Every structure is written in C-alpha cells, then in structure tokens.
Structure 1
Amino acid sequence: MTLKDIADLAGVSMMTVSNVINGKTSRVSQKTRDKVNAIIEEYGYVPNLNARSLSNKKSHIIGIIISLDEKDVLLGTNYFENPYVSTMIGAIEKELQKNEYFTMIRSVSKNADIISLLKNWNVDGIIILYPAAGEYMAKLMDSATCPIATFDCELDHPNLINITSNDEKGMYLSTKYMINHGHSAIAFVADYKNSHVLANRFNGYKRALEENHITFNPDYVYEYSPSYEGGIQAGREIASNSSPVTA
C-alpha cells in the first residue's frame, strides 16, 4: 500500500493524502479526511519514515550523547548503570515519545567523536550528558547544524541550551545534613580536580565544614570517580585503613 494506492481508492490527489497523514487538513474537508483515514485503517498503512524525513528534511530523531571519561572507559565503567544517567535518559525518552520523536543513544569517550557523529547522523537535535567544556564545546556549537542542549556545561554560548544544577549548594546541604546528625569525620569521594561540576560540589563540602568550625582533613578526600565502581574502591580503602570516617 502506497500513497498513490490510497489516493486512487479515495479518488483524491496524493498531496491530499499526504496532508491528511501529516495533519495539514485546513483545506481538506472532513468527509475527505474520514474517507482517507478509513482506507489507511482498513489496509494498515504505515508511513515510511525514511521517505518522510527525506521529503521534509526532518528525521524526528533526537540524539542523546553521554560523554565518557577516558579513565572510566579503561576501567570498564558502564554509565548506563548510573542511576542518574538511566533516570535522565528515561525521562528524556518519555518526553520525546510524547512529542512523536525517536531517541538515538550513543556514548563517546573522545570529544571529537561528537563532531563526527553530527556530520553522519541525520538528527533534529542533540542532548549531551556530562559534556566537555571550553574550546571543544565552543567549536561544536559554532559548527552545529541542529539545536544542542546540555546538562551541567560551564560554557556560556548564545546558541546553547544549558540546564544546570546548583552543585555547590547541593553538596553544602548534604554535608550540613551529616553534620546535623552528629558527624564530623565526613569523607568526600570524587576526582574533583578535573571537573567543574565535582569541583563545585567539593567547594560546597568545604564551606559546610568551615561554617560549622570543622577542620578540613585532606585525608578524608578520596579522589575516585563518582560512579558505582569508584564508590566500591573508596569504600574498600576507607575500611582497610581503619579510617575514623563515619559518613
């Protein structure tokens, strides 16, 4: 069953059938719409999405890219097991589906790979989790041919849709919670020196200690990846060293 077949059965033009399928019905009578839709339903016609994307230059595909740290790649870290990442992807996919978009997910360990993907994917937009910042992202934004949204990116660019969290305040409140429950030997687990997001969290951790007159102890900082695997490593080190850490 093709558009031409439907048009012949309905006694209308292929353009009219196309307009009905795509919801452009302002100039199509209700009687004609009902007739075309009845034929579509009777024969189980499904539009060819590839053909549609070629004709209107829209794929209705949104790419979700997860930027992996090269260290985590070497460690075999599975970011899809990260509850934050999996929850984010689930929420994004749900919203895209409601708006009749499809999702294409890809993880990359090299920033240059994203530019290559942009050239080879026919996507209507890209959402990036854990984006790299600085010169690379600026170059990506300048060469992008579709909208780009990021979560927690430090780049300020007029064409970038950037959703951020107040990471410093979040960790400040978390540390305050521990302090209010009687803890003073509080460990901070994250390799924060190479990440602006983690550095902001570290600053919140230190600020909460200082405000509560608790001396910062560098021995309580464990510079592991804030992943499941990194948490296991930190936990083992804390346990094996008979550390006084209580939170």
Structure 2
Amino acid sequence: MKEGRHVTIKMVADKAGVSKSTVSRAIGNYPDISDKTKEKIFSVMKELNYYPSAIARSLANRISKNVGLVLPADDDFFLNPFFQESLRIISKTASSRGYDVLIAYNGDNETRSVERLVKANKVDGVIMMRSVVQDPTIEYLRDSNFPFVLIGKSIDYSSVHSVDTDNVDACKTLTKKLIDSGCKKIAFIGGDKNSVVTIDRFNGYVKTIEENGMKLNKDLIQENEFSSMNGYRSIEKILKNDSSIDGIVITDALIFSGVMDYINNHKSYETGESSIKIKVIGTFGTGNFQQNPDIEIINVDVDSKILGEKSCNTLIDLLEGKDVEMTQIVDYKISNIN
C-alpha cells in the first residue's frame, strides 16, 4: 500500500469480497457474521493498514457514547444556579464514564429537538431536567422505548426512572419554619403552575397553612414563569392586594432574585429602610443574588450536585444493563443564610 493513500471501508470490502455493511457489522462484532468472515475481514484490514475511526466504530456498534440533556424552554435557564450546577456535574460525570453530552432545547415545539437526537442515533439515552404535566417529551420517549431519566418526577406515569427531592415535604418544613418565626400572613410565589416541582411545593405550602389553622388567601399566591421578572411582578401584585404580609415562600432562586430586587428598590432615600415590612423569606435556592440584612432568609438546598450526578449515573447504568431503582430520593437541607 502506497503511503498517504486513504484506505476506505469500501476498499476493505472489495479486497475481502464482501459488502460494506458486512465489514461494518464485523467491526461491530455482530453475531450474524461468522468467525471465519470476521477473521478474513480483520486480516484484510491489517494488510491495508485500515483502522476504523471512533465515529465508524460507534456507528458499527450503534452506540454514540453520547448522553442527551433536555433543557427547559425558559429564557433565563442558564442564569438559574440550580441548572448551572446540575449541567456542570452531569457533564463531569458523563465524561468520567466515557460519555459526552449533547444538549436538546425543549422549545415551543416540545419534542422536535429530542426526536432529532433519537432518530439520528446521536445519543444513547436522555436526561430530562424538568417535568411538566402531560409532558409530550416523556410520552415520546416512552412510546419509542428509549432510555431516559428524569430529574424530578412524572405525575402521569409511575414507571419512569427518576431522581428527585421530596418537594412536598421540603416546602411543608420550610413553611412551618416561617410560621415558627412568627409569620402570620405568608404569601407564595412559584414558577409555571404546570411544572411538577411547582405543584409539589405549592401542595406543601397549602398543607402547612391549613394544618396550622391559617387562612389560605388566593390573593397571596402567584405562579408564572421561572424568571427574575416573574418574581418582581409577583411580589408587586401581592403587595397591592395586601401590604401586610410578613412572610413569603419562593420556589426558585431566579424568582427570589426578582423579589429581592423589588424589595430593595423600595427603600427610603432618607433612612435607607424598606417600606415593605417582610420578616422572613423562605426560598429554594438563593444563588449569588442580593439580599437584605433586615429580612431573615431561610434556604432549602435540594443538592443540585447530587441530583445531577445520580441522574447521569443512573442513565449510564441503564445503558450498560445494570439494575437501577425506579425512583431515587435525594435529601434536602434547610438553613438560615443571614
């Protein structure tokens, strides 16, 4: 063989007297190719100095060694500390196990980007980073019998591999802490009301309010998008309805940032004191956003690092044929941060 001549799989096939697909299947160690044929093909490959590329080997084995990561459609997604940390640790975990990560954005046409990854064999499995009610992406993956793991939980299906926090219990505990701190009128600001995590945290809030003999006031409840602007507008609406609230339960770090922006923007220029008399805010994540020394902040840490790590390891274990639990619950921690 002359130096510099590029050897192709077709040249190997012609020399061995077989088809290109037979060469590919021999490389992939398919059982329908006899040992005798494989030996002949491998002998020709050695003679021609042919080494299949990583891409060719992956195609032959129908394994991409890629994990698909399905991101929510939120415009502020990459600003969210929870998802930043989850994304980082999923990429790190996948790499440690010989996989790369491909990202699918769950936009307006909710399953199109995922379908492209699946149908083109670009990924071996998928991690979904948020669940909504009647999620079409989950339905597509289930109907396609395609491996996936959900960070969160599915309300519609019990047989979905998931890694989650007990968000109902976490929000019950958080709301009770506000009550124990002396709060008498506690508002709730959440993200998308179709988001399962919002539903769970809202249910925890409602149960605790009712269990402690407090009145559930719909004027003190706001649910919208997971964004800083939502937090800003939501607290503005709530205070217009009732300026005497003394506590707030917030389900997301970005929403928390918007609430704090609003409160801190309503300080007196003369005294530096806020005109808003909120004693305690309970939140799921604070990020590096501004706070207020006059307000007690109680934070729930759902451990995004562990959620990301477990979800990635669970998916790869599934792909490698290992037994995994259908549902894994990660502990949360609650602490005062000021």
- State whether TM-score is above 0.5: yes
- For 1:218 and 1:173, locate their aligned partners in 2 and report how far apart those are by CA, in whole Å: 21
Indicate the SS of the match to 1:174. helix
Contact 2:131 2:195 in 1 (8 A): no
Q: 2:99 aligns with which of 101, 104, 125?
A: 101
Query: Counterpart of 1:138?
Result: 139
1 or 2, which has the higher helix percentage?
A: 1
> Which region of structure 1 is more displaced relative to structure 2, 222-231 or 77-86?
222-231
Tell me how far 1:143 sits from its aligned partner: 1.0
Query: Counterpart of 1:26?
Result: none
Aligned pairs for 1:163-174 within 5 A: 163-174=163-174
- For 2:170 and 2:246, locate their aligned partners in 1 and report how far apart those are by CA, in whole Å: 20
In structure 2, list runs of 5 or more residues that go unmatched: 7-26, 28-51, 248-338
Contact 1:171 1:201 in 2 (8 A): yes
Q: 2:71 aligns with which of 42, 62, 66?
A: 66
Indicate the SS of the match to 1:187. strand
- The TM-score, its normalising length taken from structure 2, stands at 0.52
- The TM-score, its normalising length taken from structure 1, stands at 0.69
The size of the alignment, in residue pairs, is 198
- For 1:61 and 1:141, locate their aligned partners in 2 and report how far apart those are by CA, in whole Å: 19
Cα RMSD for the two superposed structures: 3.0
Query: Counterpart of 1:92?
Result: 90
Query: Counterpart of 1:194?
Result: 194
Query: Counterpart of 1:214?
Result: 214
Contact 2:91 2:101 in 1 (8 A): yes
**Cα-to-partner distance string for 1:80-124 (whole Å, 9 max, x where unaligned):** 111111121112112111112111122112323123432135111
Query: Counterpart of 2:41?
Result: none
- For 2:193 and 2:227, locate their aligned partners in 1 and report how far apart those are by CA, in whole Å: 16
Contact 2:167 2:201 in 1 (8 A): yes
Given the superposition, is the C-alpha separation of residues 78 and 120 from structure 1 closer, same or farther in structure 2, using an over 3 Å criterion?
farther
Letter of the 1:143 counterpart: S
- For 1:141 and 1:244, locate their aligned partners in 2 and report how far apart those are by CA, in whole Å: 48
Letter of the 1:142 counterpart: D
Given the superposition, is the C-alpha separation of residues 226 and 174 from structure 1 closer, same or farther in structure 2, using an over 3 Å criterion?
farther
Indicate the SS of the match to 2:243. coil
- For 1:135 and 1:175, locate their aligned partners in 2 and report how far apart those are by CA, in whole Å: 29
Query: Counterpart of 2:58?
Result: 53
Contact 2:193 2:224 in 1 (8 A): no
Given the superposition, is the C-alpha separation of residues 155 and 239 from structure 1 closer, same or farther in structure 2, using an over 3 Å criterion?
closer
